[in-house]
Structure formats: structure tokens, C-alpha cells
């Protein structure tokens, strides 16, 4: 006798498809909760924590998926789900999760890699992503984010699977695999 496991995200997505699309009345964020959790911290290792991320960062990502500037990679369902949203739903959902407190993933990290990553961050990333944490980040805060998600995202940028500003592209394409791993451990070491 075999058992089949169905994820909550698949159930929510299936229910929404059967009902004819998302219903987002008065801040209903059902489409996001299936993967990110009601607290914005759910999901697997490649699912970013969105609780407390600035709404403009979340909107940019969602509109990027919708417009094809950002690829869904190993999770094509995300692009399908985002493609069913309206502009107002994206703005309302981003505001909902942005209003939550930011909290780090608190994963295990390698201290030696943290020091190397701190140097790469200070040289190439701090100006936009914050000097010592998420509080002074002008772009999306990376401190405390899930390490597998960060690794995956940086690799997507290097592969040209996400549109990016020319200055960012120049910096990211110059990163070695060791630099990426060091950055991932540096950001993963952050605690708030």
C-alpha cells in the first residue's frame, strides 16, 4: 500500500484553479500562504522569507515573475499563480507581508566562510543591501534570509535568468563559486 503526499501549496493552487482564480478580498493572501505560510516564514529551503520584506521589494519580484523578467526555475507553479493576480492584489499582498516583523532564518553556517563573505559583502553588496543588517538596506535585505534561497537566487542572476541593473550584473558575474558560498554563509549568520 502506498501513500501520496500532497503539499498545502498544491491543494490551495488546485482549489483556486477550480474556483476560477484567486479571490483576494480585503487582504486575503491565500495564494501566498500556500508556500510562504501565514506568517511569511513558511516553505521549503528555496522559498524566501517574505515577512518584513519591504513591499516595494516584494512587488518588484512579483511583477518580475508576471512580466517574464524573472524566471520561476524549479517552481513553474509560482509563475502560473502570479500570472493570475491583478496589480492591486500584488500591491495588497506585498503590503500585508511587509507589515509583519522581519525575522532571520537562523540556519547553521560555517564561521570561516562568514568572515570571507563579510569581506565580499562589504566590497560589492553593502551599498545596496545594508552594511550590517536589513535596517539600512535600500534594495532587498539579504541578512537572515534562507541560505538555499540565496544560493539559488545568486546562481539565477549569474545565469542571466533574472533581469538586473548593469552595475549589479557586473558585480554578480565577477563572483566565483567560493564568493557565492561565502556570501550565503555571511547572510545566513545574521540573527535579529
DSSP lists the bridge partners of residue 138 as none
| CATH architecture of residue range(s) 8-98 | Orthogonal Bundle (1.10)
pLDDT score of 31: 82
Rounded CA-CA distance 137/115 in Å is: 20
pLDDT score of 79: 81
| pTM of the model as a whole | 0.80
pLDDT score of 109: 97
DSSP lists the bridge partners of residue 166 as none
Residue 23 phi, psi dihedral angles, 5° rounding: -120, 120
pLDDT score of 4: 39
Instruction: State pLDDT tens for residues 102-128.
Output: 889 999 999 999 999 999 999 999 999
Class of the domain covering 111-188: mainly alpha
Are 8-98 and 111-188 the same fold in CATH?
A: yes
pLDDT score of 189: 97
Q: Contact, 42 vs 50, CB < 8 A?
A: no
Instruction: State pLDDT tens for residues 71-98.
Output: 777 777 888 888 889 999 999 999 999 9
* Structural domain boundaries in the chain: 8-98, 111-188
- In this prediction, the residues of the chain whose per-residue pLDDT falls under 50 are 1-27
Between the alpha carbon of residue 172 and those of residues 10, 12, 108, 157, the distances in Å are 33, 35, 24, 7
Question: For residue 172, what are the contacts with CB-CB under 8 A and spacing of at least 6?
Answer: 154, 157, 158, 164
Amino acid at each position: 500500500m502506498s501513500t501520496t503526499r500532497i503539499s498545502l501549496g498544491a491543494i490551495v493552487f488546485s482549489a483556486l484553479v477550480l474556483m476560477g482564480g484567486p479571490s483576494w478580498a480585503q487582504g486575503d493572501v491565500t495564494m501566498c500562504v500556500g508556500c510562504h505560510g501565514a506568517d511569511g516564514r513558511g516553505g521549503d529551503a528555496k522559498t524566501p522569507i517574505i515577512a518584513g520584506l519591504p513591499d516595494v521589494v516584494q512587488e518588484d519580484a512579483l511583477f518580475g515573475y508576471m512580466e517574464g523578467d524573472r524566471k520561476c526555475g524549479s517552481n513553474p507553479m509560482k509563475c502560473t499563480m502570479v500570472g493570475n493576480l491583478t496589480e492591486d492584489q500584488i500591491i495588497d499582498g506585498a503590503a500585508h507581508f511587509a507589515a509583519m516583523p522581519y525575522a532571520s532564518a537562523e540556519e547553521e553556517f560555517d564561521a570561516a566562510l562568514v568572515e570571507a563573505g563579510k569581506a565580499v559583502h562589504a566590497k560589492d553588496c553593502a551599498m545596496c543591501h545594508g552594511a550590517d543588517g536589513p535596517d539600512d538596506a535600500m534594495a532587498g535585505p539579504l541578512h537572515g534570509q534562507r541560505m538555499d534561497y540565496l544560493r539559488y537566487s545568486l546562481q539565477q542572476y549569474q545565469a542571466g535568468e533574472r533581469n538586473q541593473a548593469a552595475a549589479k550584473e557586473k558585480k554578480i558575474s565577477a563572483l566565483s563559486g567560493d564568493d557565492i558560498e561565502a556570501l550565503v554563509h555571511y547572510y545566513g549568520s545574521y540573527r535579529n
